[in-house]
Structures are given as C-alpha cells and as structure tokens.
Structure 1
Amino acid sequence: MAKVNGMPGTDVAVRAKGRPSSRERIVSAAGDLVRSQGAARLSLEAVAEKAEISKGGLLYNFPTKGALVGALIADYVEQLQKARACHLEALQSSGERNSVVRSHIMANATICERAGPPPAGILAAIAEDNTLLEPIRAYASTLVERIEADDDADLSLIAYLVGEGLCALELFQTNTLTEDQRKRALTLLDRLLAGGGGPAQAAASPGE
C-alpha cells in the first residue's frame, strides 16, 4: 500500500503565529478526552480545564455539549479530507489505478492508526441528534459520486464498503481482528485495486 509522509494527524492546526485559537484548543482537548475517557464522561467543565480556558470562554465558542460534539465530527471530516487529498495526489502522480477509493481507505487508516476515529464513543450524543452526522454524510455522498470515475468503479465501491465495515467494527467496539489480520486484509484490498490480483492469482499461472 502506498505511503505518504507528513500526513496531517488529528492535532488541531496551529496558526501562523504559533498559537492555536481558543476554539481549536477546545476541540483538541475534547477529542483527547473522548478518546481517553469516552463520551459519557465528556463534560464542558473537563474540556475547559484540559484546554486551559474558562468555562465562559468555552460556552462562547460552544454553547452546548451537542455543539461541541458536532465540532468534533466536523474536525474529523476535515482531517479525513486533508489526508485523502494528499494520498490522492500521490497516487495520481504515479498513475495508480482506482485512486479515489484507495486514497480514502489510506486516509482512514492514517487517522485511525494515530488516535482512533474521533467519532468513536459519541454514539449517545448522535442518537439524540443525528443531524450531527451531516458532515460525514456529505463527505460520503461526494466520495461515492467520485468513485464512479475510478478505473473499476464496481470494485472500488466494494472496497469502499469493506473499508467502512472495518471502521464500523471500531466504532461499535466489536473488532476481533488481530492487527496482522487487519493489515493483511487492507494490503490484499489495495493489491486488487492496483490491478495486481489476489493470492490465488499470484500463485498460479496458465499451464501450471
């Protein structure tokens, strides 16, 4: 699977002056707390303390917990878009096949390997207000449309569904795959998308 160095992670971008804005600090702190303690324990007080900002300052940026969760999801989608754009550029410059779906799968892996998917653990908040998922829906809708331009659109669509299935296993904390199994599956998937064939195809040749 192709690699791209210097990928954006889940850390909030730093402004030119070298200091993140209060909003960025809050989102970063909330993301850290969700990943380390779970959304059930996410409180505005805890976020304000970790971000080293007053609760009044936090409420100015995010009046409700739902607004903060929405910002976490939007931040996740933004990071996913940036990572996918970098992978897509690298794949297309190398003339790789099925670059749209491969760039998405690589971006997902890049982010999840660093800190886990930010939406994990916030299902309760989403259940109360599923409009929080709008940024993810919009990203997915655009991606599926663009997958139609891949060299093998049908294979790319299947690959997209496989990748989303792996993410769902993590989201619902039902993943029983070992790290080796997960990497083998992703490597084989990328090989198929690149046009290299599967293990059986590689092991046999006509006339043998």
Structure 2
Amino acid sequence: MTTRTARKTQDSKSEILRAALELIRRSGAPSLTIDAVAEEAGFSKGGVLYNFPTKDALITGMVEFLAGQFEAEVAAAREGHLASQCPTLSAMIDVTEGWLRQNRDVARAMLATKADRPDLSEPFMHVKARLKAAIEAETDETAKALAIWASLEGLHFSEAHCVAIFSEEERAAVFQDLRKRLA
C-alpha cells in the first residue's frame, strides 16, 4: 500500500469514526447502525464495511480513536503547563473538564456496549498506564497526584454512569480546587 493510499484509508476511517461518534452524541447508542453511520459520514454502506467489516470493529475503532484523541489532547495541553509542578496532571484536569462537557453522551453510550465487550477498556488502560508513568516521573508527591487523578476519574465515571449530582457550577468549583491543590 502506498503512503498516499494509506493516508486516504486513514482519513476515511477517521471520517467514519467522527460520524459514528456524532451520531451517538446526537441520537444515542441505539442509533449506531452501519447504515446510519454510512449516511452520517456520506459513505456507501460498502465503504463503511470496507473500513470496519462489523459493528464490533466499528465500536472497537471508536474506542481506540477516543483513547488516542484523549492522549493527544493531554499531550497538547501539557505544553501549556510546563511550569506546573506536574504538567501531565495539570493537562489532564483541563482535558477532563472539556471532555465532561463535550463527550458526556459518548461516554454513556460506550458504557452500554462495554457490558458485552470488556476488552473495550484496553485502549484507555494503555493510555492511562502511559499517563501514570509520566505523572510519576514528574512529581515526588505521587499520592497527592493520584488522589487528584482519582477525583478526575470519579467525576468522569459519575457522568458516564448517569449518577452525577453536581451542578455545572459545583463541578467547575471542583476543577478549580483540583488545580489549586496541584499548584
């Protein structure tokens, strides 16, 4: 496969994955069908199936895409926090706050599919292992850093499990407090 063909295939996959995520964000997990994704992406059903031969392959691709997107956003945000005590964790606070606003519905939908597919956690577990190693390398206060991270995880999981009880203002205050604790 030539570099140009590989790039075009990767671009097509990314377009399909973005369309699938938008479909879930807008209409929920039950709306995720190959036909609906093809229509949303502007591809033929065969074009979607060429890139993702099954719905399971599409869901796996979506999780891998999201995990990569999260890691890339943390890496980009980290550049703005190089003066921080722990640049990676500072970036994770910012990125998690944004994801809770933007990807809440996607997290809930992915949770619904995870019951049948426990392997879907693997891409995020690999990302988290790399982030944990970076945090441990950046700070001598590992317990403090992990407590802050655990708070981020709790906020994220309460949203994904539809049991969040904080208002937008309360959640913003929590993020502000986490930033102060890290400073």
Q: TM-score, normalised by structure 1?
A: 0.78
Query: Take 1:78 and 1:187, find their aligned partners in 2: how far apart are those partners?
Result: 26
Contact kept, 8 Å, 1:43 with 1:65, in 2: the verdict is yes
After alignment, is 116-125 or 171-180 more displaced? 116-125
Whether the 8 Å contact between 2:84 and 2:90 is mirrored in structure 1 is no
* Aligned-pair CA distance for 1:56: 0.7
Partner residue in 2 for 1:192: 181
Q: How many residues align?
A: 174
- How far apart, in 1, do the equivalents of 2:111 and 2:149 lie? 22
Of the structure 1 ranges 178-187 and 40-49, higher mean CA displacement relative to structure 2 is found in 40-49
Which structure shows the higher helix fraction? 2
Q: Which residue is 1:24 aligned to?
A: 14
Q: 1:140 & 1:115 partners in 2: Cα distance?
A: 18
**Superposition pairs of residues 6-85 of structure 1, within 5 angstroms:** 21-85=11-75
Q: Contact 1:66 / 1:125 at 8 angstroms: preserved in 2?
A: no
Does structure 1 residue 159 correspond to structure 2 residue 148? Answer: yes
Which of 85, 100, 108 in structure 1 is aligned with 2:96? Answer: 108
- Specify the SS of the correspondent of 1:21: helix
- Give ranges in structure 2 of 5+ residues lacking alignment: 1-6
C-alpha contact 2:24 2:105 (8 A) present in aligned 1: no
Distance in 1, matches of 2:112 and 2:175, equals 30
Segment of structure 1 superposing worse, 35-44 or 179-188: 35-44
What is the root-mean-square deviation in Å for CA atoms of aligned residues? 1.8
Paired amino acid for 2:91: S
Aligned to 1:199: none
Match of 2:168 in 1: 179
Letter in 1 for 2:147: I
Moved more, 183-192 or 114-123: 114-123
* 2: CA distance, partners of 1:82 / 1:145: 16
Q: Which runs of 5+ in 1 are unaligned?
A: 1-16, 195-208
Measure the CA separation in 1 of the matches of 2:13 and 2:86.
37
DSSP-derived class of the 1:128 partner: coil
Output one character per residue of 1:41-96: Cα deviation in whole Å (capped at 9) or x when no partner.
2111111111111111111111111111111111111111121112211111xx21
